[in-house]
Amino acid sequence: MANWLAKASSALSRETVDVPQPFQLTCECGTEHQGQRKSRAQRIICQTCGTALFVLPRNVYPELKPQKPKRKRRSRDERGASQSARDGQRSRRAGGGAKQAVGAIGSGVRGAVTSVTNSIRTRIVGTVTGLLTWIRSLFTPFRIVIAGVLTMLLATGAWTIRARGLDQAREALRVEFTAGEDALKADDLSLAHEHFSNAAAAADRLNSTDTRGRIARQMADETAALIRLAPASLIEMLEEGEIIVQAQTPEAWTLHFGGKFQGTWLVMQAPVRTADETEQPMTLVVEMPILVGDAEAPVSLTVTNVNASELGFHSEPQVAWFAATLAACVFDKAQKSWEVSLDGETCFLWTDIENLKRLGFFENDALAEQEATEQLLEQSRFLGIDP
């Protein structure tokens, strides 16, 4: 016991062996974290889900050495039983190791799937949260007030522009209507048509249904018929067609009609009725017993694609003054007849007696003029145009 102090000092002076102390932690998301413990505690962040994990510091105390068990002498039977037990334990360990390997693989796959799923869910939640936050940041009280003020300013500006446009349309209707009347009195039909067309456009912008607006539209139609009147009457046109058909072919007449007559206006007085069930719908039938040429070929005159109720026609023939553009004129070889059709979209009832007189009607026929005046007055009332 005399040298115990030297032995203790010698033991304490030895250098302590730096034994690594590893750690292994499993995060909530299933990710495994491994590393070495340090002299101080560590705080690591999971790269998958961002969770903070705490790692204890190194153990500074030396590990206790396990006590050696005392050996006892065993008999031969005990040694045989022990050997059998060890063999059985080895076999169980071998089977358990395979199960542990399979379980470890399954656990790894499940951990990987869980990690990917959590990562995707975290990103989606983060993206949606960020989007909602950005949207909420847009609707601040200040911005809402500014948006309300801007909306009011825009609405006021739009209303002001519309009101100004309506005022301009009213002024245009008044000025153009007066100018059209002056041009018509001066027999400048082209200028009158231009002014009345402008007045009609202004009335359409105003949705005007008053007398001036109706008359503006009516005069725009009548002056259009005046300046683009067909170069010949219906009978003269058919006689010209008969000459071309006899000298050449019906096809030659069709080409001639398209270049000279198609799209021009016809103004006439005739009995008109709607087509019956056996005839073409949306069609007016003009009953004119005309026979053309030496062969006395009959003529059928129809107005196609027309709104009959708007013009006041029905199944009973009704004599009317009307106008429409020429759409087609065909000679039927089989029937030896002429088929003339007018464009119903341009068809309108005539109302002004002075415009009829400009076309050459009623020359030296006061009675016919008086009858036409009374009929045009009735048509004006039907259209809502006060004389």
| Beta-carbon contacts of residue 42 (< 8 Å; ≥ 6 apart) | 35, 54, 55, 57
**This prediction's pTM:** 0.61
pLDDT above 70 covers a percentage of the chain that reads 83
Same domain, 242 and 261: yes
Range of the domain at 243: 234-349
Retrieve residue 217's tokens: 């539209």
Strand bridging mode 337-349 / 297-304: parallel
Q: What is the predicted pLDDT for the residue at 164?
A: 86
Contact call for residues 164 and 205 (beta carbons, < 8 A): no
pLDDT in tens, 290-341: 899 888 999 999 999 999 989 999 999 999 999 999 999 999 988 899 999 9
Same domain, 200 and 217: yes
Same domain, 132 and 42: yes
Same domain, 210 and 312: no
Q: Is residue 384 part of a domain?
A: no
Contact call for residues 163 and 182 (beta carbons, < 8 A): no
Average of per-residue pLDDT across 243-263 = 95
State the burial class of residue 215 (Cβ atoms within 10 Å of its Cβ: 0-12, 13-18, 19+): buried
- Three-class SS string for 194-217? HHHHHHHHHHHHHCCCCHHHHHHH
Q: Is residue 88 part of a domain?
A: no
Q: Is residue 152 part of a domain?
A: yes
Contact call for residues 325 and 304 (beta carbons, < 8 A): no
Of 49 and 189, the structure prediction assigns the larger pLDDT to 189
Q: Is residue 69 part of a domain?
A: no
Average of per-residue pLDDT across 106-134 = 82
Same domain, 238 and 292: yes
Question: Which of the listed residues 109, 138, 167 is the one where a domain comes to its end?
Answer: 138
Same domain, 158 and 192: yes
Structural domain total, the chain: 3
Same domain, 257 and 170: no
Q: What is the predicted pLDDT for the residue at 91?
A: 59
State the burial class of residue 25 (Cβ atoms within 10 Å of its Cβ: 0-12, 13-18, 19+): middle
Asked whether the predicted pLDDT for residue 368 surpasses 60, the reply is yes
Q: What is the predicted pLDDT for the residue at 64?
A: 63
Calpha distance 271→315 (Å, rounded): 11
Q: Helix, strand, coil shares of the chain as percentages rounded to 5? A: 55, 20, 30
Q: Is residue 240 part of a domain?
A: yes
CA distances from residue 184 to 40, 228, 317, 323, 372 in whole angstroms, order as listed: 109, 16, 33, 19, 20
Q: Is residue 80 part of a domain?
A: no
pLDDT above 90 covers a percentage of the chain that reads 49
Q: Is residue 33 part of a domain?
A: yes
Asked whether the predicted pLDDT for residue 3 surpasses 60, the reply is yes
One DSSP character per residue, 345-363 reads EEEEE---HHHHHHTTTTT
Retrieve residue 68's tokens: 């050696």
Q: What is the predicted pLDDT for the residue at 172?
A: 93
Calpha distance 236→290 (Å, rounded): 12
Same domain, 189 and 294: no
